[in-house]
Amino acid sequence: MPYVAADERYDRMVYNRCGRSGLLLPAISLGLWQNFGHDRPLETSRAILRRAFDLGITHFDLANNYGPPYGSAEENFGKLFADDFRPYRDELVISTKAGYDMWPGPYGDLGSRKYLLASLDQSLRRMGLDYVDIFYSHRADPDTPLEETMGALDTAVRQGKALYAGISSYSAERTREAHAILRDLGTPLLIHQPSYSLLNRWIEDGLLDALGELGVGCICFSPLAQGMLTSKYLGGIPAGSRASRNESFSPDLLTEETVEKLRGLNEIAEARGQSLAQLALAWVLRDARITSALLGASSVEQLQANVAALDRLELGEEELAEIERYATDGAINIWARSSAT
């Protein structure tokens, strides 16, 4: 059946301004890091993307190496875009990135101009797009001059292959430097994509203040800590879950101490009439400097349940104080401070 987007797709979603730019992003965005590679049935990926757009999720986030194998999430997205979403291109914000290991040899990793611009061309070909909305430097590269990496983002924008420039997992200090370089080049830094969740709060130590001050948007990845901040691990590790696959998420993170914290948070969520996942999303979005929570979903049901967090976003002082008793920083999360260079 050809896809026709739901007429009511803009009725419930909240759209937030991205920093001091003209671009609005949905409060909840969908990432294609996992669940969209050649290892998953294309029809499941299709159903998730269709439902997301019908729920007002106008932003899909990719990277060159999402899969597995590398590149396959972009390839599958390209197929689904051609089948379903081409008529809606101007209603979508599609992002991709380069910065991690992608192809063999010295030009397929990190932050050189050579890698970033070649990778963007490959991403556009895989997705069948003329341009992406946001092109990111996926991580800081301490051995490449920041001027070179930011210069590549500026070139991508000037070539019309990206509309906006972004950075991911950069420290506060390097973010300030990147912002200044891009400003001088005439291409503003639109957005930063850091990890952030109830279990991983490194951005509260300087980065969030910098973004607020500079007027740069903030889209937080893994707001559910890869699924830890859902009720699924409260009674063990279910078969088929991300922890059970032990690839990007080690089951060792689910210590008794952590699960106790999750139980405490789950009780707060239940008292609000929410799921733990919905509370985790509301909590990430409580700060006006956060533009969007960038989540993943392995099923339509998960996605729908998560988006229903929008029905109850407000958190009172007492609830926030209670949450503080259980929310922790970095140490137990794989996306800890060390990823920010």
Ligand X SMILES: NC(=O)c1ccc[n+]([C@@H]2O[C@H](COP(=O)([O-])OP(=O)(O)OC[C@H]3O[C@@H](n4cnc5c(N)ncnc54)[C@H](OP(=O)(O)O)[C@@H]3O)[C@@H](O)[C@H]2O)c1
96 part of the interface to ligand X, by CB under 6 A:
no
**What Rg, from alpha-carbon coordinates, does the chain have?**
19
CB of 35 to ligand X, least distance (A): 6
Strands (E), the chain: 15-17, 24-26, 28-31, 59-61, 93-98, 132-137, 162-168, 189-193, 217-221, 292-295
67 part of the interface to ligand X, by CB under 6 A:
no
Specify the residue, 172 or 277, whose C-beta has the smaller distance to ligand X: 277
How far is it, in rounded angstroms, from Cα 295 to Cα 281?
A: 9
- Restricting to residues 175-204, which ones interact with ligand X according to CB under 6 A? 193
71 part of the interface to ligand X, by CB under 6 A:
no
Out of 190, 225, 265, 285, the only residue in the binding site for ligand X (CB under 6 A) is: 225
**H-state helical runs in 186-290:** 207-214, 242-245, 256-271, 276-284
CB of 244 to ligand X, least distance (A): 8
- Measure Cα distances from 291 to 23, 63, 90, 196 in Å: 10, 19, 20, 12
Specify the residue, 21 or 241, whose C-beta has the smaller distance to ligand X: 241
Choices 49-57, 145-153, 156-164, 293-301 (CB under 6 A): range interacting with ligand X: 293-301
Choices 13-21, 153-161, 253-261, 291-299 (CB under 6 A): range interacting with ligand X: 291-299
- Restricting to residues 138-157, which ones interact with ligand X according to CB under 6 A? 138
168 part of the interface to ligand X, by CB under 6 A:
yes
241 part of the interface to ligand X, by CB under 6 A:
yes
Q: Residue 197 contacts by C-beta under 8 Å, 6 or more apart in sequence?
A: 220, 222, 223, 224, 225, 229, 280, 284, 333
Specify the residue, 14 or 334, whose C-beta has the smaller distance to ligand X: 334
CB-neighbour burial class of residue 257 (10 A; exposed 0-12, middle 13-18, buried 19+): exposed
Out of 64, 96, 169, 266, the only residue in the binding site for ligand X (CB under 6 A) is: 169
Rounded to 10 degrees, the C-alpha dihedral 330/335/338/341 comes to: -130
207 part of the interface to ligand X, by CB under 6 A:
no
Out of 117, 216, 277, 282, the only residue in the binding site for ligand X (CB under 6 A) is: 277
Convert 168-183 to b/e letters by CB count within 10 Å (16 or more is b). bbbbbebbbebbebbe
The 296-325 site mask, x for binding ligand X (CB under 6 A), equals xxx---x--xx-------------------
CB of 41 to ligand X, least distance (A): 14
Q: How many residues are recorded in the chain?
A: 341
Answer whether 291's CB lies under 8 Å from 240's CB.
no
Out of 71, 78, 151, 223, the only residue in the binding site for ligand X (CB under 6 A) is: 223
CB of 249 to ligand X, least distance (A): 8
Choices 25-33, 44-52, 284-292, 318-326 (CB under 6 A): range interacting with ligand X: 25-33
SS3 of 255, please?
coil
Out of 32, 134, 172, 340, the only residue in the binding site for ligand X (CB under 6 A) is: 32
218 part of the interface to ligand X, by CB under 6 A:
no
How far is it, in rounded angstroms, from Cα 291 to Cα 175?
A: 17
Residue type, 72: S
SS3 of 125, please?
helix
Q: Residue 323 contacts by C-beta under 8 Å, 6 or more apart in sequence?
A: 198, 265, 268, 279, 283, 315
CB of 250 to ligand X, least distance (A): 13
Q: Which parts of this chain interact with ligand X (CB under 6 A)?
A: 31-35, 61, 138, 168-169, 193, 221-227, 230, 232, 241-242, 277, 294-298, 302, 305-306
